[in-house]
Amino acid sequence: MLIGYARVSTLEQDVTLQTDALQQAGCERIFQDKISGAKADRPGLQEALNYARSGDSIVVWRLDRLGRSLKHLIETVGQLEEQGIGFRSLQESIDTTTSGGRLIFHIFGALAEFERNLIRERTIAGLEAARARGRLGGRPKKLDAKKTELAYQLYDEKKYAVKEICHMLGISKPTLYACLARRNQEEHLKGKQSIRK
């Protein structure tokens, strides 16, 4: 059985073009969504996936109607394949029930994996180059040495509430508490070292 899925991004757009093409392709049931492709929660797609059984095929007018991204598309088709459900895209002439269609889809998967590896390699190379120039990754610290000392002083004086100290220094409560925790650790370590001497 061929099960159609049509999606448009906004309520103003019309799915007629897609549903007509899906009916001409022989779809017996058509599910629809009027929702952005970027949204993870698509009730129509979920209904189509729940309705499909082994031996059926999910049919879309174009690849971008199904997947939010290439990664999402490959994951969805992979899940369908595990359940014995085929996938067809009319515009791209892809049909995973044929050996040629499966080959094309595996090439897509390999390209997506290649792209992820390239991004990972570029990120690592960029971080190494930055370290070589003396720059460390991560966010800049909110508290430099002067601000840290001021934070300790304001906190120890007990004149101001934690909220007020944070407002004065332009930091969050967790940042202040992390700073105080570091001081306690340092003092604890110093105490241990003086006992050993």
Catalytic residues: 9
User: Rounded to an integer, what distance in angstroms lies between the CA atom of residue 61 and that of residue 111?
Assistant: 22
CA 154 – CA 149 distance, rounded (Å): 9
* Residue 12 CB contacts under 8 Å (≥ 6 apart), including other chains: none
Torsion-angle region of residue 55: left (phi > 0), alpha (psi -120 to 50) or beta?
left
Q: Cα–Cα–Cα angle for 69, 70, 72, nearest 5°?
A: 65
Query: HSE on the CB side for 151, CA within 13 Å?
Result: 26
Phi and psi at 108, nearest 5°, equal: -55, -45
Residue 31: helix, strand or coil by DSSP?
strand
CA distances from 149 to 171, 181, 183 (A): 14, 14, 10
